[in-house]
Amino acid sequence: MRLLHTSDWHIGRTFHGHSTLEALRGVLLELAETVRRERVDAVLVAGDVFDSATPAAAAFELFEGAVLAIRGAGAQVVMTSGNHDSAARLGHQSPFAAAGGVHVRTRAEALDAPVELTDEHGPLDVYGIPYLEPLLMGVRTHAAALGAAMDRVRAASAARGNRSIVLAHCFASAGVVPQAAGGERDITAGGLDVVPAAVFEATGDSRVDYVALGHLHSRVRLAEHVRYAGAPLHYSFGETSPMRGAWLLELDAAGLAGVRWVDLPVPRRLSEITGPLDTLLADPALAPLEQDWVQAVLTDPTRQQDAMTRLRERFPHIARIEHRPEGVRPADARSYGERTAGLPDAALIAGFLEHVRAGTGPSDAETALVAEVLASVAAAERAA
């Protein structure tokens, strides 16, 4: 049997204010072509199908088109809800969808009732664990919620005795927290604290042949059989992996026989350019990046007027600018009051000028002028 592991479609999400619907539509249609080309039996979607609990009509239209294309290419679909999804909306009329080969798992009470797929080697059970809100599960952490869920999955697996796949949406770690994978705006939002990858291990007579994870937006391998596929599009400059794609699983009679990566197209690459504004506008070496999504780090000593407008003339898809002047000391973590406590007036003024000029303090003439004004003020105060 062949399964394609994907996740985090985030239908409806924008990229720095730009719609991603058309780009995502093209990528998901290519995913359907991958299903046809690789003779995939089922596509697994591990949560965050939509970016919002209240998707717009255009997002639903894209979703329906993508699922129909996958079904038309010959694969069934098994998907779970993530922390961005509305479980009720995504799971609406799921019994009718299952009759058409689209299996949506959004109810915690049914997470140990698997979707049963069949090949020449017999049944394969796919357990879909929807995003579990810890407080609603009567626990304090997401790790505890998933631990309780996996206890139920292991019990069901031991009783059934079949090959088993688990889908889950969480922030899992195999010891080193994979922060570089990027993607989520807040990995602890909604209770998604770190879950040890060991939570998903089989015990006793249970079987867990593969764990298809969602939540991180770049591909991550925690173990041979525990992986993140990442999102099909780049949704932020923090997503470090330049490629987009899915994991193609091969299962035989003994269980997981192999995993390989299948690339999906990247409609527009992410690039970061660094340097003074005039250099970025003129450097011929940057020509290959002109049609990318661009993040510009400007190193000019002072902020440049109309920098975004000027850069957009060369890089029409520039999305973000950061001003990071060269030679400026790292930011002081102390509050303004703590940094300035006890300083004389001249030092306060000099520090203010250095701040607003991005590291350049007062000139000798300005220092002399400040001293003259402060002396005049002091003299006036004494005479009062």
CATH number reported for the structural domain that contains residue 194 in this entry: 3.60.21.10
What residues make up the domain containing 357?
336-383
Question: Position 333: which residue type?
Answer: A
| Burial readout 32-63 (b: 16 or more C-beta within 10 A, e: otherwise) | bebbeebebbbbbbbbbbbbeeebeeebeebb
**For the chain, what is the domain count?**
3
Residue 331 lies in a domain: no
368 and 224 co-located in one domain: no
Residue 354 lies in a domain: yes
pTM of the model: 0.82
Question: Position 264: which residue type?
Answer: L
pLDDT of the residue at 374: 83
**What is the full per-residue pLDDT of the chain (384 aa) written as tens digits?**
999 999 999 999 999 999 999 999 999 999 999 999 999 999 999 999 999 999 999 999 999 999 999 999 999 999 999 999 999 999 999 999 999 999 999 999 999 999 999 999 999 999 999 999 998 889 989 999 999 999 999 999 999 999 999 999 999 988 644 444 554 544 443 345 899 999 999 999 999 999 999 999 999 999 999 999 999 999 999 886 889 999 999 999 999 999 999 999 999 999 999 999 999 999 999 999 999 999 999 999 988 999 999 999 999 999 999 999 986 655 555 665 666 677 788 888 887 877 666 567 788 888 888 888 888 887 777 776
371 and 312 co-located in one domain: no
Tokens at 135, concatenated: 């407080």
30 and 179 co-located in one domain: yes
Beta bridge partners of 218: none
| Burial readout 111-137 (b: 16 or more C-beta within 10 A, e: otherwise) | bbebbebeeeeeebbbbbbbbbbbeeb
306 and 352 co-located in one domain: no
Residue 93 lies in a domain: yes
Indicate the residue among 242, 264, 286 that finishes a domain. Answer: 264
- Measured CA to CA, the distance from residue 162 to residue 153 in angstroms comes to 12
- Measured CA to CA, the distance from residue 298 to residue 67 in angstroms comes to 43
293 and 185 co-located in one domain: no
* Residue 19, number of CB atoms within 10 A of its CB: 12
DSSP state for residue 55 in the 8-state scheme: -
Residue 33 lies in a domain: yes
231 and 280 co-located in one domain: no
Residue 121 lies in a domain: yes
Are the CB atoms for 256 and 225 separated by under 8 Å? yes
pLDDT of the residue at 190: 37
311 and 347 co-located in one domain: no
Residue 203 lies in a domain: yes
128 and 156 co-located in one domain: yes
352 and 280 co-located in one domain: no
Report residue 368: phi and psi, to 5°: -65, -40
297 and 347 co-located in one domain: no
- Measured CA to CA, the distance from residue 71 to residue 290 in angstroms comes to 37
157 and 96 co-located in one domain: yes
179 and 54 co-located in one domain: yes
